[in-house]
Amino acid sequence: MTDPDTCNISNQSHASDVAQRYLTGDSRPRTHAQWLSYFGEHHGDRYAVSAPSAPGGQWRAIALSGRHDQLFGWSPTELLDELIDHRSRDPHR
């Protein structure tokens, strides 16, 4: 695997995450339970996240403050992108 310090990482806010995954050998979560744990650990204070209730369903996150916006993604990584985008639009969330 490539040393994270030599990777071409365009978003440096996640560089420490990349370095940590490299050092521990961990990759992104693979199961729904692992993803729910990940969302809870990283976004649990601002969003309530739920996995799809049926195959082919969408992941959902509800903002716990403000207008209680609802975010959806067809996959957990798509929902993660939505969460990051939502937080960047209003940094006070």
Q: Name every residue whose Cβ is closer than 8 Å to that of residue 59 and which is 6 or more positions away in sequence.
A: 35, 49, 50, 51, 52, 72, 73, 74, 75, 76, 78, 79
Amino acid identity of residue 40, one-letter, is G
C-alpha distances out from residue 74 to 48, 64, 86, Å: 16, 21, 16
Domain range list for the chain: 29-93
pLDDT of residue 81: 93
**pTM for the full predicted model:** 0.64
Tens of pLDDT along the chain (93 residues) come to: 455 455 555 555 555 565 555 555 556 788 889 999 989 888 888 999 999 998 889 999 999 988 899 999 999 999 999 999 998 887 655
